[in-house]
Amino acid sequence: MLLFIKNNKYQIIKFFITGLLSSFLNFIVYLILYKLGININLASFAGYCIGLINSFLFSKIWIFEKSNLKRINRNFIFFILIYLIGAIEMIIIINLGIFFLGNYKIAWLIGASIAAINNYLGSKFLIFEK
């Protein structure tokens, strides 16, 4: 595993930076729409979609730059599915973490970490393969 991290460290750093940027965009869109009086669920969904699109574009152009650009529609659908699986994993882990640890912050951190690993590996090996 350490060899994998060493061989992919720049890609992993780019993935982390993109995740932070996408989360920031997600929050900004959510905040603006909510402040404009949009329903909180719709604002949250819109923010998530903007973050997801940003993540996909940065993944395609910057993180996995040598990937095949010919199958963009197929790749986007698989991207959404992998991130949906990551979200489900995160929800399950958060609930288990709260039940067993009693600490929602630690539960969230563990869940987010597992989801990020899922999203990176899924993107690297299933979507943006060379």
DSSP 7-21: HTHHHHHHHHHHHHH
Q: In whole angstroms, give the CA distance from residue 48 to residue 90.
A: 15
Q: In whole angstroms, give the CA distance from residue 86 to residue 113.
A: 10
Q: In whole angstroms, give the CA distance from residue 125 to residue 11.
A: 13
* 94-128 pLDDT tens trace: 889 989 999 888 988 898 889 999 999 999 998 88
pTM: 0.78
What is each CA distance from 75 to 23, 53, 60, 94, 129, in whole angstroms?
Answer: 21, 12, 9, 28, 10
How sure is the predictor about 66, in pLDDT bands with cuts at 50, 70 and 90? Answer: confident
C-alpha radius of gyration, the chain, whole number: 16
pLDDT at 80: 92
How sure is the predictor about 68, in pLDDT bands with cuts at 50, 70 and 90? Answer: low
Distance of CA 4 to the CA centre of its chain: 20
Q: What percent of the chain has pLDDT over 90?
A: 52
Q: Which two tokens stand for residue 17?
A: 């930076």
Owner of token pair 């780019």: 14
